[in-house]
Amino acid sequence: MNRPPYRRSDEIAAYTYQADIYCPACLIETMIADGIAAPAARDMPTDDVLEQCAGAIAINRDDDTTYDTSEFPKPVFLDCFTPDDSCARCHAPL
Ligand SMILES: [Zn+2]
* Model confidence pLDDT, tens digit, residues 7-50: 677 788 899 999 999 999 999 999 999 999 999 999 999 999 99
Distance separating alpha carbons of residues 30 and 45, to the nearest angstrom: 15
Q: For position 2, what pLDDT does the model report?
A: 55
Q: For position 3, what pLDDT does the model report?
A: 55
The β-bridge partners of 17 are: 20
Gap from CA of 29 to ligand 1 centroid (Å): 9
pTM: 0.84
Gap from CA of 30 to ligand 1 centroid (Å): 10
- Cβ atoms of residues 83 and 2 within 8 Å: no
Gap from CA of 85 to ligand 1 centroid (Å): 11
Q: For position 52, what pLDDT does the model report?
A: 95
Torsion of CA 22, 88, 35, 53, to 10 degrees: -10
Gap from CA of 63 to ligand 1 centroid (Å): 25
Q: What is the pLDDT of residues 71-83, one digit of tens each?
A: 999 998 878 778 7
Q: Which residues have CB under 8 Å from 32's CB, separation 6+?
A: 38, 39, 41, 42
